[in-house]
């Protein structure tokens, strides 16, 4: 069975959970969590790295012991440590940690004192009033647990886009190798580049005698076959991700791709337009009466209702149909349009590769410039730079640039925006840099007024260039802080500075609607990788996907400019 990075990360997270419930050494627990994060964010499959003879210990947070466990999981699908820990605690008990308000100590108490092993048992214990009597709980905590369980149960599990891509890419390669298969396309929210994916919809065109359906349902990663027919099947993978496969006729391919790409709201709007002119649009084609008049490709579907082709990322019924009708559809930015990356880290702080290695990796991605923006001293957990260390790095960049061919390193810093809106480093140091990236890394729970004022004051600093990950959210882990984003965007316009779209799959921040706001206000957005290793530049494609969802064109993106034009823009903010 193919093992993906997400599978390995899930096993390491479970190990950390079980160790934490048992009260194990915090450093050991943290090592597994860090390794899970590294592998979960890694664009290349660990399986492929091992096959190519790569040394996994060069990955951040992966020592010899963890590298051995990664190989064990890849080779066997199992981890002996995890299996031992599962024998010591019931399998479902770690799910209790997903309930807000329940930490390891409380989970341990619930298990030992009330024999609570599952979320359902937790709900019954809270409903029956049995939790309040436990030491350290009480009636209020019991009520909070009851409400948290109800909210937890109502959430539909979704996969981050980059995680879903691991399964989608492997399945696509598998299906393309099946005899008789001609075309394989992943549709749905995955094709629309939504930040999270509920399931995968895959369309296939194939010869009549192709064994694609039985091969699909027998795929090594399938845990459960929900249905299987001649032209459609649904399965659930071991990861819990549902995958629906449909074999469609070539003549209906465009109509099916349009239908299954969605969104539902967009498709309904298109069908209503068609109905008004006597046409019917469905997954099989566009029909006038019983005659199919279009549907072999998506452009023909749109053409029959008098519209140009609408890119998948825009299909959310948020004005794209009106824009198409009025000839105002954006010419969306492409990954190949990016000329550089303005946010990256090296091993000088919490990155894991040298200046030279990061430069060469950026060049291999086709980039012409890369800004090195280490953390500043306030972020002690990342070993942030003080003025002296930053000055030394600037000198190192100046020495290295003449040796590089085809790539230029820019001197920058990701400086903390402190609670009062001041920046974490003095002007004398910031003035030497090519750009200053300001970031909020603390005090996320300030009021809307205070958080907004804090960022506005930082942007007024004479050396401020770019606001990093402007909403501060981490998908499924941390909500955006409360801030008046329109006010910030308009202030950026006044001040002449820029906003970042952070391409890290856990961030994708700016949000798509905020990208649209920035575009409408005339504020340039920089699509950056926030790379902490040479592998991370691959994440730029997710940032570009988010930019496209936000209607951004090439000219709306700061780092599509060649270096000389970029430097002119940067100087205006310094």
**DSSP codes joined into one string, 370-430:** EEEEEEBTT-GGGT-B-HHHHHHHHHHHHHHGGG-SS-EEEEEEEEEB-TTS-BSS-HHHH
Whole-number pLDDT of residue 153: 67
Whole-number pLDDT of residue 528: 98
Is the distance from CB of 181 to CB of 172 less than 8 angstroms? Answer: no
Whole-number pLDDT of residue 111: 86
For residue 371, give the nearest of 335, 407, 406, 402 by alpha carbon. 407
Task: Give the span between the Cα atoms of 336 and 365, in whole angstroms.
Answer: 9
CA 462 to chain centre: 32
pLDDT digits (tens, 9 = 90+) for 28-78: 999 999 999 899 888 889 999 999 999 999 888 899 999 999 999 999 989
Domain 262-325: give its CATH superfamily.
Answer: DNA polymerase, thumb domain (3.30.210.10)
Whole-number pLDDT of residue 525: 98
CATH of domain 335-573: 3.20.20.140
Residue boundaries of the structural domains of the chain: 5-154, 159-247, 262-325, 335-573
Confidence grade of residue 89 (pLDDT, cut at 50, 70, 90):
confident
**Max mean pLDDT range (92-101, 102-111, 303-312):** 303-312
Is the pLDDT at 490 greater than 70? The verdict is: yes
Backbone angles phi, psi at 76, to 5 degrees: -115, -20
For residue 545, give the nearest of 194, 251, 291 by alpha carbon. 194
pLDDT digits (tens, 9 = 90+) for 282-304: 999 999 999 999 999 999 999 99
Whole-number pLDDT of residue 154: 63
pLDDT digits (tens, 9 = 90+) for 338-376: 999 999 999 999 998 999 999 999 999 999 999 999 999
Task: Give the span between the Cα atoms of 489 and 487, in whole angstroms.
Answer: 6
Is the pLDDT at 234 greater than 90? The verdict is: yes
Task: Give the span between the Cα atoms of 158 and 398, in whole angstroms.
Answer: 45
Confidence grade of residue 119 (pLDDT, cut at 50, 70, 90):
confident
- CATH topology identical between 5-154 and 335-573: no
527: exposed, middle or buried (Cβ count in 10 Å: 0-12, 13-18, 19+): buried
Fold of 159-247: Beta Polymerase; domain 2 (3.30.460)
- Count of H helices and E strands in the chain? 23, 17
Fold of 5-154: DNA polymerase; domain 1 (1.10.150)
Task: Give the span between the Cα atoms of 8 and 559, in whole angstroms.
Answer: 34
| 3-state DSSP of 84-134 | HHHHHCCHHHHHHHHCCCCCHHHHHHHHHHHCCCCHHHHHHHHHCCCCCCC
573 half-sphere exposure, CB direction, 13 A CA radius? 31
For residue 529, give the nearest of 541, 511, 547, 512 by alpha carbon. 541
CA quadruple 57, 60, 66, 67: dihedral positive or negative?
Answer: negative
For residue 265, give the nearest of 308, 311, 314, 316 by alpha carbon. 316
Q: Could you say which DSSP state residue 227 is in?
A: E
What share of the chain in percent tops pLDDT 70? 99
Across the chain, mean pLDDT equals 93
5 CB-near residues (< 8 Å, 6+ apart): 39, 40, 42, 45, 46, 166
Task: Give the span between the Cα atoms of 329 and 319, in whole angstroms.
Answer: 10
Rounded (10°) angle between helices 540-549 and 512-521: 70
Is the pLDDT at 555 greater than 80? The verdict is: yes
540 CB-near residues (< 8 Å, 6+ apart): 335, 338, 341, 365, 503, 527, 529
Q: Is 33 helix (H, G, I), strand (E, B) or coil?
A: helix
Is the pLDDT at 281 greater than 90? The verdict is: yes
The structure tokens listed for 481 are 């802080």
Backbone angles phi, psi at 255, to 5 degrees: -65, -40
pLDDT digits (tens, 9 = 90+) for 524-535: 999 999 999 999
């Amino acid at each position: 069975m193919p093992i993906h990075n997400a599978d390995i990360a899930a096993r390491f997270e479970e190990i950390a959970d079980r160790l934490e419930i048992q009260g194990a050494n915090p450093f050991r627990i943290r090592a597994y969590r860090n390794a899970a994060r590294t592998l979960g964010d890694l664009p290349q499959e660990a399986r492929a790295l091992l096959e190519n003879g790569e040394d996994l210990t060069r990955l951040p947070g992966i020592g010899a012991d963890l590298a051995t466990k990664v190989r064990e999981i890849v080779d066997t699908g199992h981890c002996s440590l995890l299996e031992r820990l599962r024998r010591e605690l019931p399998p479902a008990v770690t799910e209790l940690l997903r309930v807000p308000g329940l930490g390891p100590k409380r989970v341990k108490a619930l298990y030992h004192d009330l024999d609570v092993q599952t979320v359902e048992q937790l709900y019954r214990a809270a409903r029956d009033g049995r939790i309040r009597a436990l030491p350290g709980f009480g009636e209020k905590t019991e009520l909070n647990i009851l409400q948290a369980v109800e909210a937890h149960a109502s959430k539909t599990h979704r996969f981050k886009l980059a995680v879903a891509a691991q399964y989608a890419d492997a399945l696509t390669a598998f299906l393309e190798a099946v005899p008789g298969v001609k075309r394989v396309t992943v549709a749905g929210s995955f094709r629309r580049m939504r930040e999270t994916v509920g399931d995968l919809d895959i369309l296939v065109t194939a010869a009549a005698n192709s064994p694609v359906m039985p091969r699909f349902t027998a795929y090594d990663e399938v845990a459960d076959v929900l249905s299987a027919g001649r032209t459609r099947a649904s399965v659930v993978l071991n990861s819990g991700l549902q995958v629906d496969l449909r074999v469609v006729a070539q003549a209906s391919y465009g109509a099916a791709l349009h239908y299954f790409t969605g969104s539902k709201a967009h498709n309904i709007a298109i069908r209503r337009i068609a109905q008004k002119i006597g046409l019917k649009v469905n997954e099989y084609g566009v029909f006038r009466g019983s005659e199919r008049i279009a549907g072999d490709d998506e452009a023909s579907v749109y053409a029959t209702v008098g519209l140009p082709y609408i890119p998948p990322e825009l299909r959310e019924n948020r004005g794209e149909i009106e824009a198409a009708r009025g000839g105002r559809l954006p010419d969306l930015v492409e990954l190949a349009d990016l000329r550089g990356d303005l946010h990256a880290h090296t091993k000088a702080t919490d990155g894991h590769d040298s200046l030279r290695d990061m430069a060469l990796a950026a060049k291999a991605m086709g980039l012409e410039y890369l800004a090195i923006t280490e953390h500043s001293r306030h972020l002690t957990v990342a070993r942030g730079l003080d003025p002296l260390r930053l000055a030394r790095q600037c000198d190192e960049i100046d020495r290295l640039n003449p040796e590089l061919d085809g790539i230029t390193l820019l001197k920058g810093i990701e400086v903390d925006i402190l609670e009062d809106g001041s920046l974490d480093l003095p002007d004398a140091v910031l003035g030497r840099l090519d750009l200053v990236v300001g970031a909020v890394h603390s005090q996320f729970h300030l009021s809307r007024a205070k958080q907004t004022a804090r960022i506005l004051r930082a942007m007024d600093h004479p050396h401020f260039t770019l606001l990093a990950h402007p909403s501060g959210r981490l998908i499924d882990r941390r909500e955006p802080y409360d801030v008046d984003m329109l006010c910030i965007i308009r202030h950026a316009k006044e001040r002449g500075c820029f906003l970042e779209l952070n391409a890290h799959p856990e961030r994708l921040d700016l949000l798509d609607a905020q990208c649209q706001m920035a575009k409408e206000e005339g504020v340039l957005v920089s699509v950056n990788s926030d790379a902490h290793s040479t592998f991370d530049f691959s994440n730029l494609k997710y940032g570009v996907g988010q930019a496209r969802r936000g209607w951004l064109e090439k000219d709306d993106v700061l780092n599509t400019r060649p270096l000389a034009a970029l430097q002119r823009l940067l100087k205006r903010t310094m």
